[in-house]
Amino acid sequence: HKGLPEFGTVKWFNLEEGFGFIERESGDDVFVHFSAIQTDGFKSLDEGQEVSFEVEEGQRGPQAANVTG
């Protein structure tokens, strides 16, 4: 099920691997895969970027979905 949108800050994002982590306002880190980024064109995040996202349970625990910003 979809959660409420959260806000967080990109901790790091590896362009070559296509994933990274977002620091949630709660202080926890959540995994983010490039496929979750809602943007046209090249899907990338910058370190320190403010984003909004939803958290869903993935195969390896919580992960970001519907990432915008």
Assigned domain for 60 exists: yes
Does the predicted TM-score (pTM) go above 0.85?
yes
Close Cβ partners of 24 (under 8 Å, ≥ 6 residues apart): 6, 8, 30, 55
Query: Could you tell me the CATH number of the domain that includes residue 19?
Result: 2.40.50.140
Assigned domain for 11 exists: yes
**pLDDT tens string for the chain (69 positions)?**
556 899 999 999 999 999 999 999 999 999 999 999 999 888 999 999 999 999 999 888 999 999 998
Tell me the residue type at 6: E
Angle among Cα 11, 58, 35 to the nearest 5 degrees reads 60
Number of domains in the chain: 1
- Domain assignment of residue 38, given as a range: 6-68
Judge contact between 54 and 66, C-beta under 8 A: yes
Tokens representing 36 are 């979750």
Assigned domain for 1 exists: no
